Structure 1
Amino acid sequence: MIGLRLSTSARQAVRSLSTSSIARQEAVGTVGTVPTKRPVGGFRGGILGFLFGFSVSSGLSIYYLQQENKIASGLLLASVEELQQGTGKISSHLDRLQFVEKEMNGLKTGGAIKEDVSNLRGEMKRVYDGLHLELLDLRAHVWGVEQDLQKVVKTESIRI
């Protein structure tokens, strides 16, 4: 005790409170201090067991986490590779689509539309009709010339 002085009656009262009747009876017959039995390993053994168990469980958990991390990294890498392949396919499809769109725009600007075709068809009909009329006029003219020629031939054959 740190500097407290108790009277003998106070010491006996504290001693009677702190020890059981069996311990008091044993202490009466001996001279000196009674050695107290400590459990073997006691507190120190508990700490060492705890530290050993903690280190083993920590090591196993770190190993498990590393394995899980390795598997997750592999899966992530495979997903990234699949994503790259998919992106490559999509970009090639987009390139083809852009090429087709350019060709379509070229055909639209250079190609004929329905109105152009119908206008051209109308012009061709007018040209054909005009040629047909000219052919008929030419036939009529040729027929007239033949008639005139036959008249001339008849008149000359009569004269001769």
Structure 2
Amino acid sequence: MIGLTRQIAKTGVRGYSTVATSGARKVGTFRGGFLGFLLGVTVTGAGSYYYLIDEYKVANNVIVADVVALQNSINNLEKHVKSLESKK
């Protein structure tokens, strides 16, 4: 070991090399990012779905209330017309 250190000190070059292993690739980052993206999209989609359903129900109730009010005013108008016809 001391001889190798002296050789490196003299020449400035190592007498050995390290080989990078190209074994198993790490896909944890990709898989984790992809699963995180899918989880985020799913949660956002579900929240949006329930929000839209709630807004739909509110709008539907407003329309039904308007239709009921229109029906009541038509009934009142019919009663008024009948009372006017009976007076003649």
TM-score relative to the length of structure 2 = 0.68
Q: Which residue of structure 1 aligns with residue 12 of structure 2? A: none
Q: Which of 41, 61, 64 matches 1:77?
A: 64
- Give the aligned residue type for 2:81: L
Residue 32 of structure 2 corresponds to residue 30 of structure 1: no
Aligned pairs (5 A) from 1:41-120: 41-100=28-87, 103=88
Identity %: 38
- The CA RMSD measured in Å over matched residues stands at 2.4
How far did residue 62 of structure 1 move?
0.6
Superimposed CA distance per residue, residues 106-156 of structure 1 (whole angstroms, 9 cap, x where no aligned partner): xxxxxxxxxxxxxxxxxxxxxxxxxxxxxxxxxxxxxxxxxxxxxxxxxxx
Give me the whole-angstrom Cα distance separating, in 1, the residues matched to 2:77 and 2:63.
Answer: 21
Which residue identity does 1:54 align to in structure 2? V
The structure where helix makes up a greater share of residues is: 1
TM-score (norm 1): 0.40
Q: Note the residue ranges of structure 1 that are not aligned, 5 or more in a row.
A: 1-27, 104-160
**Alpha-carbon offset, residue 40 of structure 1:** 6.3
Partner of residue 3, structure 2: none
| SS state at 2:18 partner | coil
Point out where structure 2 has 5 or more consecutive residues left out of the alignment: 1-15
The residue type paired with residue 82 of structure 2 is: D
Counterparts of 1:96 and 1:36 in 2: how far apart (Å)?
95
Aligned-partner residue type, residue 72 of structure 1 = A
What's the CA shift for 1:60? 0.4
> 2 CA distance for matches of 1:69 and 1:36?
55
- Give the counterpart letter for 2:44 in structure 1: S
Bigger RCO of structures 1 and 2 (CA < 8 A, at least 6 apart): 2
Residues in 2 aligned to 1:83 and 1:35: alpha-carbon distance in whole angstroms: 76
